[in-house]
Structure 1
Amino acid sequence: MTSVTTLFAPVEGDLKLLTENLKNLVSARHPILGAAAEHLFGAGGKRLRPAIVLLISRGTMLDAEITQRHRRLAEITEMIHTASLVHDDVVDESEMRRNVATVNSRFGNRIAVLAGDFLFAQSSWYLANLDNLLVVKLLSEVIRDFAEGEILQGLNRFDTSLSIEAYLEKSYYKTASLIANSSKAAGILSGVSPEIAQNLYEYGRNLGLAFQIVDDILDFTGSTEVLGKPAGSDLVSGNLTIPALYALEEKPYLETLIEREFSQEGDIQQALALIKESSGIERSRLLASQQAKLAVDKISCLKASESRQALINLADYVVSRLY
């Protein structure tokens, strides 16, 4: 399987610079906030979202060097993403992420909430300084979408009547919105046509949905070591994802287990077994593949280049994580 490092080869140097810049951008006057930020950006991660921004920037600026505003957009994208993870971990009471202690488990909920707020505020300030109103609107919408997605997820806990459409809407808010809107923003900073800007948005939207569906499948099929959190975490917390929603159509007893919130001994093990016996995981794989294919179709609007090929390969990579 192709590694992320290989995929991001066209922007390898850009990503190294980004990591250094991030640590400078989030340096805080208060030592604990600074330590929390340092801990976050030192925790690794694939840097998937800024890499997409940088690849689109290079793929739309074939005859010129990418600008400082493209680089700053990539940094803002990672800051917004990281802020959302910090708040997610507080809401979900998570102790580990990427096999590293979460900010809330290390510094407490109070500092974690403030660290997330601080990162959102910092990203908003740098966003305003890009001096491009359309880009500001696009990325501001993402921050609103994160909150809406989290609220929807909270309201729908253990709700077996949740539709596939509602699941996809929540997945857009929580994952795809950032990738879609930052992809479009990168194109706008390059001066692409409105048609190409919209195709870049659709690429990010479909790729983001594929990525979330794959993550939700891996929550049932992956190991704790690979996931960096206990397998089946979403189901235990009442967050019904696509494999469970498909399985509910085939396994009526699963509804009983979910609605009593796995309150009896052995409930969660039985629920996991029912989901794995159903065609839910296979149907979810098919949906992820369809979304990835749609992403590839949309990115074909760009001229052939190393960066465009990397964006195409990235869609294949997202689905290949399942195998």
Structure 2
Amino acid sequence: MVSVASLFDPVEADLQELRQNLTNLVGAQHPVLGAAAEHLFTARGKGIRPAIVLLASRATAVGGHLTPRHRRLAEITEMIHTASLVHDDVIDAADLRRGVATVNSDYGNRIAVLAGDFLFAQSSWYLANLDNLEVVKLLSKVIKDFAEGEIRQNLTQFDPDLSFEAYLDKSFYKTASLMAGSARAAAVLSETSATIADSLYEYGRSLGIAFQIVDDLLDFTSSTETLGKPAGSDLSQGNLTAPVLFAMEEKPQLRAAIEREFSKPGDLEQALQWVADSSGLERSHQLAKQFASRAEQQLQVLSSSESKDSLINLTDYVLARLK
């Protein structure tokens, strides 16, 4: 399995600069929010989203050279993503994310909500200052999509009639929209052709949906230690994902347990076992593979480069998280 660190070799120095800039940008005006931001940007995950922006930028820019606007776009992307996580953790009353205490756990819900709001506002300010209307529209839609995804998820909790189409739409809003919109925005700032910009949008969309399906699979197959949150937590909260939707086709008794919101003793444990005993996990894996393959196909329009190779290898990495 290719390590995520080696995947980002072409932009590793750019990512290190980005992490420092993010802490400086957010912490300068508000020390408490700055402390929360530093906690976020140093303890956060692997930086896949800004890395996609930087790789797409280097793959499309003249001579592979990043402009200050490309760098700022990557910072905006990470701000938006982080703001959404802070708010998600408040909504989910989560104490841990990837094994690290959440902002709401360390600072309380009030500061966490304010920190998320501040990050969204800060990202919008820097976005406007890019002075590119198309990029503003792309990333503004992402922020709207985050809210749409969260609303849809909350309105469909414990709903066994959730369609697969609705599940994929929700996956787009919550995860893929940012990858798609920011990848296209990188191409726009590079002043590429519409064909390349469209292909990078579809790359981000397909990669993001594959990423979300894998996340949904890991909720059933990984330990609490690996996930950094309790295994099976999505199902326990009534968030029905691909493995559950597939499993319900084979285990009709699962539907009844979901409808009563696992109110009987042992309901949740039994539901997890029904999912494990079905073909839901394997079918979800195959679905993730299909979307990852679609993502890779979109990169054929790019000229050969190290950055293009990394974008291709990212599609394998997303699936390899299951191993």
After TM superposition, the score normalised by the length of structure 2 is 0.99
Amino acid in structure 2 at the alignment position of 1:32: V
Query: One-letter code of the match for 2:15?
Result: L
Q: Secondary structure of 2:27's match? A: coil
Please name the residue that 2:60 is paired with. Answer: 60
**Separation in 1 of the partners of 2:27 and 2:95?**
24
Structure 1 stretches of 5 or more lacking a match? none
Counterpart CA distance in 2 for 1:65 and 1:213 is 34
Q: Determine helix, strand or coil for the equivalent of 2:43.
A: coil
1:72 partner amino acid? R
Residue 165 of structure 1 corresponds to 165
* 1:274-294: CA deviation from partner (whole Å, max 9, x where unpaired): 000000000000000000000
Partner of 2:299: 299
Q: Distance in 2 between matches of 1:15 and 1:33?
A: 22
Structure 2 Cα separation of the partners of residues 64 and 221 of structure 1: 39
Q: Which consecutive segments of 4 or more residues in structure 1 shift more than 6 A?
A: none
Q: Indicate whether 1:31 and 2:31 are aligned.
A: yes
Kindly provide the amino acid, as one letter, of the partner of residue 169 in structure 1. Answer: D
Cα distance, 1:195 vs structure 2: 1.1
The amino acid that maps onto 1:95 is D
Q: Any residues of structure 2 matched to 1:1-323 within 5 Å, and which?
A: 1-323=1-323
CA–CA distance in 1 between the matches of 2:139 and 2:303?
26
C-alpha distance in 2 between matches for 1:122 and 1:104: 20
2-structure distance, mates of 1:102, 1:152: 23
1:196-224 CA-partner distances (Å, limit 9, x unpaired) = 10000000000000000000000000111
Q: What are the Cα deviations for residues 126-176 of structure 1, in whole angstroms up to 9, with x where unaligned? A: 000000000000000000000000000000000000011000000000000
Distance in 2 between the 1:73 and 1:34 partners? 20
Mapped to 2, the partners of 1:53 and 1:122 lie a distance apart of 18
CA RMSD of aligned residues (A): 0.8
Unaligned runs of 5+ in 2: none
Aligned partners of 1:306, 1:31: CA distance in 2, in Å? 39
Q: Aligned equivalents of 1:70 and 1:145: distance in 2? A: 22
String of CA shifts for 1:22-43, please: whole Å, max 9, x gaps: 1111115333222211111121
Shift of 1:62: 4.9
Partner secondary structure for residue 262 of structure 2: coil
Matched residue type, 1:106: D
Distance in 2 (alpha carbons) for counterparts of 1:286 and 1:304: 28
- Counterpart amino acid of 2:249? E
Q: Percent identity?
A: 68
The aligned amino acid for 1:229 is K
Q: Tell me the amino acid that sits aligned with residue 223 of structure 1.
A: S
The amino acid that maps onto 2:24 is N
